C-alpha cells in the first residue's frame, strides 16, 4: 500500500533527462495517482527569462508518455497552493534543490495548515537541462 493517494509535481521538463525520470518514478512509488504540472512557455519566460527549447505542447506529450504519470496538466502559475485548491492532491513532490527557498518555505507553511505533505527528493547530481544545453553548445 502506497502512503499517498494523489500526488502532484511540477516542472519545465525541457530536454527530458534521467533527473526528470527519477523524480517521476520516485513520486509514483509514493502515490496511487500522479498528476504532473508542465510549465507553460509563458510561465518559464516570466521567471527564467528564456524560452524553453521544446515547445509546451510537446513537453506535455513527452511527460504524458511516461509510464509513471497518470495525468498531465499545464502549470500556468507558480502558486502551488492555488494548484492544490484546484486539484486537491495529498502530497506534492519537489526536488531538494528547492528546499529552503522562499517559494517553498511559504508553500510548506500553507500546506501544513491544509494537511498536505511536501516531500523533497534528492536532486539527481550531474544532470540538468542547463547541463544538457551546455554540452550541446560544445558539439
The predicted pLDDT at position 11 comes to 95
Which CATH fold topology does 4-138 show? Rossmann fold (3.40.50)
State the helix-helix crossing angle for 80-87 and 102-114, rounded to 10 degrees: 30
User: Residue 93's beta-bridge partner residues?
Assistant: 119
The predicted pLDDT at position 23 comes to 94
The predicted pLDDT at position 139 comes to 46
Cβ neighbourhood burial of 136 (10 Å; 0-12, 13-18, 19+) = exposed
The predicted pLDDT at position 96 comes to 87
Cβ distance 38 to 66 under 8 Å?
no
The predicted pLDDT at position 131 comes to 67
Cβ neighbourhood burial of 71 (10 Å; 0-12, 13-18, 19+) = middle
Active-site annotation, residues: 48, 50
Cβ distance 113 to 86 under 8 Å?
no
Cβ neighbourhood burial of 119 (10 Å; 0-12, 13-18, 19+) = middle
Starting at the edge strand that comes first in sequence, how are the strands of the sheet with 91-95 ordered? 71-75, 31-39, 4-11, 91-95, 117-121
DSSP designation for 114: H
- Cα separation, 130 vs 112, in Å, equals 32
> pLDDT under 50 in the chain at which residues?
139
Amino acid at each position: 500500500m502506497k502512503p499517498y493517494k494523489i500526488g502532484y509535481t511540477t516542472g519545465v521538463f525541457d530536454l527530458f533527462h534521467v533527473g526528470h525520470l527519477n523524480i517521476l518514478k520516485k513520486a509514483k512509488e509514493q502515490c496511487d495517482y500522479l498528476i504532473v504540472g508542465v510549465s507553460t512557455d509563458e510561465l518559464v519566460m516570466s521567471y527564467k527569462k528564456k524560452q524553453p527549447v521544446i515547445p509546451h505542447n510537446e513537453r506535455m506529450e513527452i511527460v504524458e508518455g511516461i509510464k509513471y504519470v497518470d495525468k498531465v496538466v499545464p502549470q500556468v502559475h507558480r502558486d502551488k497552493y492555488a494548484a492544490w485548491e484546484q486539484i486537491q492532491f495529498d502530497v506534492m513532490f519537489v526536488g531538494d534543490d528547492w528546499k529552503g527557498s522562499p517559494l517553498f518555505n511559504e508553500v510548506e507553511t500553507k500546506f501544513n495548515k491544509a494537511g498536505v505533505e511536501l516531500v523533497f527528493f534528492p536532486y539527481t547530481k550531474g544532470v540538468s537541462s542547463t547541463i544538457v544545453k551546455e554540452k550541446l553548445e560544445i558539439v
